[in-house]
């Protein structure tokens, strides 16, 4: 009997121990009057900012409301130019549903905060008094002691991180014996860190799971600089560059992430990756807020060409918490040239004929005032035939074709990869430009007028022309005679000397697009727009050809 008693007693003791520990575990999770907070990081975001400060100019819009890039440029040497654009870009913000833990897990997969990044969560009660804090590691939240708080009470949760897997700064309290949200801060933070912040005020509810789904906001600026020399066929070998104005330190108020910058203003060096290839990229975090930032390039080597005295890019607007793309492109200079036997210009890599189709290519295309013979021929959309010339009478044209050509009659490819068709009347090596190519020409030139313009739609004056001059090389220009147009219904001439339209190969919806020129504007117009009803695919416009790209 004694032997049997010993055998039975051992498993009874083990069962009792298991029950004790099991009950203790359940008590921790279901403490009466307490709620557990489930913490997760579900993304990060930069401030939602409009396109602004694009290199010494305000952003402007074309007639469709699209933002146009403002160009600034400095010469690399007599053959190459550095052009730059500074564009704010917004990161994704991840919306997190609170319906179930499965939803939270699914949302956490789409995350731009890397695994193992350290972050802290500090908790304050409804009066702003410190309650507790936890240090977490992204993706390992269950390894941190459970966060239990009182049911039904309102708390303020503050989370922050410097987006590092190695460290995270501690909170400083001006009165450590009486910690509160209003007296808390992060002091002497390195301004080059990627500081991220989150705040949420939440009332805990009993019986429901309480989720703290963190979407961090970046509070310093980030600038991603890309140097692209691919258009030259050469590699980016070496770059020494820095960005101002930057403050080395920052104190962060914990209640609202207000920044107090300190230390003498300085430049931040940009360390580039991807050298000895056509493109190189460098990313910096900037602790500043200015409309007068400067990019200094003290040394740049592209291929065998080295420059150490490049003029700085100045007057740049940098706002806190905004991510910027700083695109620096090395391109061959805009030049005058002969291409496929035609007088031509190269502007931003595109080659354009100097004359209208049908004009005398031996004449001076820039003569002022512009002679009537520089107008050349008029064409209908999608057709190769000449429907009128510069010296055709101004009245109606018998037998005028009022049947519209199909959309792809001049381009069997796409807008980004156009393919010339047999209906295209441009000479060998050239084609009718797309809408995007015409817009690019407008973006990279300055417009001016020559000759005397008229505001009479029935007038038949000559001499007026619009001159588009390269922003990079003022010796390179294209002159567009103000040819008016031939009416869609009968071929009658209108607005010669007052406005002009030049064909593109592009179609929006069911109508054409065109280069539209008026005395005070140069735009890309679509279909009838605000024009008279006799403007459409069957109108007669002149053509300016662009070179076919190999």
Mean pLDDT, the chain, integer: 85
Query: How far, in Å, CA of 162 to CA of 151, rounded?
Result: 31
d(CA 356, CA 279): 37
- In this prediction the pTM is 0.58
Whole-number pLDDT of residue 528: 52
Residue 2 token pair? 């004694």
pLDDT at 333: 80
pLDDT of residue 525: 87
Nearest-5° Cα angle at 330, 327 to 331: 120
Q: Model confidence over 430-450: pLDDT tens digits?
A: 999 999 999 999 998 999 999
pLDDT, tens digit, for every residue of 350-400? Answer: 999 999 999 999 999 999 999 999 999 999 999 999 999 999 999 999 999
CATH tag, 68-88+221-332? 2.60.40.2630
Average pLDDT over residues 510-536: 76
Q: Which residues of 80-97 are buried (b: 16+ CB within 10 A; e: fewer)?
A: bbbbbbbbbeebeebebe
pLDDT tens column, 453-469: 999 888 889 999 999 99
Report how far residue 412's alpha carbon sits from residue 164's, in angstroms, rounded to the nearest whole number.
51
Strand order of the β-sheet with 477-481 is: 445-450, 465-470, 477-481
pLDDT the model gives residue 90? 53
Burial of 366 (0-12, 13-18, 19+ CB in 10 A): middle
pLDDT digits (tens, 9 = 90+) for 25-81: 333 345 678 889 999 999 999 875 443 333 333 333 344 433 333 457 888 887 788
- Answer whether 31-45+92-218 and 68-88+221-332 agree in fold: yes
DSSP secondary structure string for all residues of 451-462: S-----TT-B--
Each domain of the chain, given as residue ranges in start order, spans 31-45+92-218, 68-88+221-332, 335-547
Give the max Cα distance, the chain: 130
Q: Which residues contact 143 (CB under 8 A, 6 or more apart)?
A: 137
The yes or no reply on domain 31-45+92-218 and CATH 1.20.950 is no
Summarised one tens digit per residue, pLDDT across range 320-361 is 998 989 999 998 788 899 999 999 999 988 999 999 999 999
Give the bridge partners for 242, in sequence order. 269, 296
């Amino acid at each position: 009997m004694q032997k049997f008693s010993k055998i039975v007693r051992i498993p009874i003791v083990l069962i009792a121990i298991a029950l004790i520990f099991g009950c203790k575990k359940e008590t921790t999770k279901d403490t009466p009057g307490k709620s557990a907070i489930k913490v997760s990081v579900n993304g990060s975001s930069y401030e939602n900012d409009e396109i602004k400060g694009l290199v010494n100019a305000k952003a402007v819009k074309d007639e469709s409301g699209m933002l146009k890039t403002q160009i600034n440029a400095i010469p690399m040497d007599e053959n190459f130019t550095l052009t730059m654009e500074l564009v704010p870009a917004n990161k994704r913000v991840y919306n997190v549903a609170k319906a179930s833990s499965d939803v939270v897990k699914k949302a956490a997969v789409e995350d731009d905060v890397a695994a193992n990044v350290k972050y802290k969560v500090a908790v304050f009660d409804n009066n702003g008094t410190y309650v507790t804090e936890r240090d977490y590691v992204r993706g390992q939240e269950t390894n941190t002691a459970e966060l239990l708080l009182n049911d039904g009470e309102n708390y303020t949760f503050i989370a922050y991180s410097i987006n590092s897997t190695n460290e995270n700064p501690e909170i400083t309290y001006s009165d450590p014996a009486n910690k509160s949200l209003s007296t808390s801060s992060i002091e002497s933070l390195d301004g080059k860190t990627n500081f991220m912040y989150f705040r949420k005020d939440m009332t805990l509810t009993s019986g429901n799971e309480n989720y703290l789904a963190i979407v961090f906001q970046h509070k310093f600026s980030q600038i991603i600089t890309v140097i692209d020399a691919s258009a030259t066929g050469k590699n980016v070998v070496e770059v020494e560059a820095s960005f101002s104005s930057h403050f080395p330190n920052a104190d962060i108020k914990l209640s609202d992430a207000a920044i107090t910058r300190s230390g003498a203003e300085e430049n931040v060096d940009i360390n580039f990756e991807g050298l000895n290839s056509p493109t190189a990229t460098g990313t910096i975090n900037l602790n500043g807020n200015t409309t007068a930032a400067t990019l200094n390039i003290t040394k740049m080597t592209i291929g065998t060409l080295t420059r150490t005295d490049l003029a700085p890019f100045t007057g740049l607007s940098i706002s806190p918490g905004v991510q910027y793309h700083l695109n620096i492109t090395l391109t061959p200079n805009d030049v005058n040239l002969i291409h496929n036997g035609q007088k031509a210009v190269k502007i931003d890599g595109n080659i354009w004929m100097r004359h209208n189709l049908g004009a005398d290519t031996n004449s001076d295309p820039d003569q002022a005032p512009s002679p009537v013979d520089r107008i050349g021929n008029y064409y209908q959309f999608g057709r190769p035939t000449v429907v009128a010339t510069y010296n055709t009478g101004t009245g109606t044209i018998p037998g005028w074709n009022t049947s519209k050509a199909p959309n792809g009659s001049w381009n069997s490819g796409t807008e980004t990869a156009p393919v010339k068709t047999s209906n295209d009347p441009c000479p060998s090596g050239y084609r009718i430009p797309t809408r995007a190519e015409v817009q690019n020409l407008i973006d990279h030139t300055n417009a001016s007028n020559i000759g005397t313009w008229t505001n009479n739609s029935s007038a038949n004056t000559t001499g007026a022309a619009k001159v588009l001059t390269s922003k990079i090389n003022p010796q390179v220009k294209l002159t567009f005679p103000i040819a008016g147009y031939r009416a869609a219904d009968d071929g009658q001439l209108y607005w010669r000397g007052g406005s002009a339209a030049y064909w593109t190969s592009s179609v929006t919806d069911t109508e054409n697009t065109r280069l539209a020129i008026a005395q005070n504007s140069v735009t890309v117009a679509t279909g009838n727009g605000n024009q008279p009803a006799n403007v459409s695919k069957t109108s007669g416009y002149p053509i300016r050809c662009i070179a076919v790209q190999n």
